[in-house]
Structure 1
Amino acid sequence: MTTILPQPLTPTLAPIRLRAKLARTILEQVLARVPVDVVLPDGSRLGGMAVRPSEPSGIRPTVELRNPDAFFERLAHHPKIGIGEGYMAGDWRAAPGTDLADALRPFAERLTTAIPRAWLALRQVVDRAIPREQRNTVTGSRRNIEAHYDLSNDLFAAFLDQTLTYSSALFDPTSPVEGQSLEDAQLRKVHAILDEARVQEGSRVLEIGTGWGTLAIEAAKRGAQVTTLTLSREQAALAQRRVEAAGVAARVDIRLEDYREARGSFDAIVSVEMIEAVGEEYWPTYFRTLDRLLAPGGTVAIQAILMSHDRYLVTRRSYGWIQKHIFPGGLIPSLQALSAVTGRETGLRVTRVHTFGQDYAETLHRWRATFLRAWPEVERLGFDETFRRKWEFYLAYCEAGFASGYLDVAQLRLERTA
């Protein structure tokens, strides 16, 4: 599978040359505030924060800029997308001895302070709107989900644990993380959210976002009757085989169905990291649907990736690398935004929040390490070197976001309080 990567603009165009020079100037000013060394092909360093006398030698992450001209052209064309596309193209890399996520983390930690205030006025000039074709209409959602989740079941199986769970694990805080298996931590997450939703024997459960079936299997093992919805044919087919192998097929109904098309009445509604694919435009529809489907006295439990409300307001209409290359139509909400829409549109209220963002950083770190070890196997599936760099950057970029606290993840309980 060949990954299409936009080429840098032709450097002979005078406006682009000027913008590329401006991009370099801005990056130099950013590096004056961020402790990351950027080394040019001739061995010189690009700008950079002065080394403090007390700073131990070799403590700083180091990035090698291998093709500066192409990289700055990409930044000039689209700053939010150019960094990731530059990595995909091999314009830059983490230097030997520097982990990619460690190189990205200092930028994530200083996201609101790294860019000099004078340059922030350019945001409205460089930001681009999310393309309308990525809107999460009924047909658009199916297309957006298929673009990621239907890449290949074998691809995901190559780096996920045996549960095939593609969301944050929940590690036991009472013992060292290093000694815990990812499989155990994923099952701990699944049972934590089933507990949040009060799933027990006899519960009628609706799951929005089947994944590869692990949550449905564990809920059925509790004696629940599970209806689970997905838009991914690849996931549905494998989930059905896994449900049958687990001996719970009689308790699990897997449907290729949009949440907006669901009917019935359920004691518990559970959804793990699916709200990010709904899109702000459709949040009212999503939560009204949950309210409509939830039986009296029932409970909703959602696992959601979150960001601060200030950052959500800044990024909510801005098109970024993740949306272009990984999750078309995706948007990370804030807890405040979700609480506001549920309060305005439904009788549901957030009654409990459990955050565990550092566990997501650990989960992503393990996925990336496994993905890179398994690359020969993934390559045999037909994926190319650009795809490898794209997914390496994606996993490291997200890890840095959670490790820095820029992103968080939480299990939310929603109930009718009146």
Structure 2
Amino acid sequence: MFRRAVLGRLAKLELGQLTVVDRCGAYEFGQVGTHGLMATINVHDRRFYRDVVLGGGLGAAEAYIRGHWDSPDLTAAMRVLAQNTEVLAGVEQGAARMLRPLRAAANWLRRNTRAGSKRNISAHYDLSNDFFALMLDPTMTYSSGVFPRRESTLEEASLEKYDRICRKLQLSPSDHVIEIGTGWGGFAEHAVKNYGCRITTTTISEEQHAYAERRFREAGIDGRVRLLKQDYRDLSGKYDKLVSIEMIEAVGEKFLPGYFAKCSDLLKPDGMMCLQAITIPDHRYEDYRKSVDFIQR
């Protein structure tokens, strides 16, 4: 039943071709077309189908972690699925929808109060700096980049993103910038070295704080960077510019009004703010806000 439901949904693929291989054979869905998208997934355990039907995209991710399926080119598989989100949305509307209240209740226990935020951030970012260094570029940037050229490296994309933010904020040596969400210190280092501003930056991750502290010291900019280990709600002072790079995702919908109120309070009357955020199509937002995604899990 679960297998039939998943394969039936895949039969509606419109963009790209996906081949599913399980113990019963190989099945092709969709067509390559002019865009050339094609991928294969190998199902090693029939529980994969159950996980997808009952858990939707989150179930598929957890099934991958358990080794129930894999792909010779995971990036290609994700691209095919990403091009067919509307078609695959039907999986999320089935049995998976019935389990949402249970997941939402569990997620409520992890809401982003001061204590909750500390626990949540630690659970993710304090896995170890060495772990994140395995997958991040040399700038240790954990947010979307801006690729100036198709052949640009991830490091070049990160630096271009940082510089674009600096340009948008019109940074100058006279500016004092508050950064909500230090990360591993990439933006602060770039801004201070290239624009001469002063930066106060905060993180509640122990690992990130230790890394950034060492980074600023070794770069010789610790005299122009004030590194805090403080929840954004407890920040004070007035600043010329404010920057927050993909930190808003960790705020939580309930706390968004307070977050923006704090940002406003931290800025001088003529101050400027640059916010980088992960977005979602408007028509999917209402459904998403009631769901629990992989990172929340």
Give the TM-score normalised by structure 1. Answer: 0.65
Deviation digits for residues 251-303 of structure 1 (CA, Å, limit 9, x no counterpart): 11100001000000001000111011111111000000001111011000011
Asked if the contact 1:210/1:228 (under 8 Å) is kept, the reply is yes
Identity in percent? 38
- 1:104 equivalenced with 2:71 (yes/no): no
Counterpart position of 2:18: 36
2:293 to 310, 320, 329: 320
Which whole-Å CA distance do the structure 1 matches of 2:278 and 2:235 have between them? 24
Is 2:41 the counterpart of 1:63? yes
How far apart in 1 are the matches of 2:37 and 2:163? 40
Tell me the equivalent position of 1:276: 249
State whether residues 268 and 294 of structure 1, in contact with CA within 8 Å, keep that contact through their aligned partners in structure 2. Answer: yes
How far residue 205 of structure 1 moved from its aligned partner, in angstroms, is: 0.5
Equivalent residue runs for 1:209-224 within 5 Å: 209-221=181-193, 222-224=195-197
Deviations 1:138-190 (A, max 9, x none): 11111111111110111112222221111122121xxx422x33323211111
Question: In structure 2, what is the Cα distance between the partners aligned to 1:147 and 1:155?
Answer: 13
How much does 1:83 deviate?
Answer: 0.7
Match for 2:277: what amino acid?
A
Contact 1:208 1:259 in 2 (8 A): yes
State the SS of the aligned residue for 1:253: strand
Q: Which amino acid aligns with 1:81?
A: L
Q: What's the secondary structure of 2:258's corresponding residue? A: helix
Residue 151 of structure 1 aligns to which amino acid in structure 2?
A: L
- Is this contact kept in 1: 2:52–2:59, CA < 8 A? yes
The answer (yes or no) to whether the contact 1:152–1:234 under 8 Å persists in 2 is yes
Residue aligning to 1:27: 6
Over 3 Å counting, the alpha-carbon distance change for 1:75 and 1:242 in structure 2 is same
CA distance in 1, matches of 2:169, 2:293: 33
1:286 correspondence with 2:286: no
For the Cα contact (< 8 Å) 1:165–1:211, is it kept in 2?
A: yes
Assess, with a 3 A threshold, how the Cα gap between structure 1 residues 49 and 187 changes in structure 2: closer, same or farther.
closer
Tell me which amino acid in the other structure corresponds to 2:39. P
Structure 1 pair 123–79 and aligned structure 2 pair: CA distance change class (3 A): closer
Structure 2 vs 1, CA of residues 139 and 59 (structure 1 numbering), >3 Å: closer, same or farther? closer
2:143 alignment counterpart: 167
Aligned partners of 1:135, 1:142: CA distance in 2, in Å?
11
Question: Following the alignment from structure 1 to structure 2, what is the Cα–Cα distance between the partners of residues 161 and 121?
Answer: 39
Q: Determine if contact 2:240/2:268 at 8 Å carries over to the other structure.
A: yes
Highest RCO, 1 vs 2 (Cα 8 Å, sep ≥ 6):
1
Show structure 2 runs of 5+ residues with no match.
none
1:201 aligns with 2:173: yes
Cα distance, 1:318 vs. partner?
0.5
Kept after mapping to 2: 8 A contact 1:164/1:212: yes
- Would you say how many aligned residue pairs link Structure 1 and Structure 2? 289
TM-score normalized with structure 2 length: 0.89
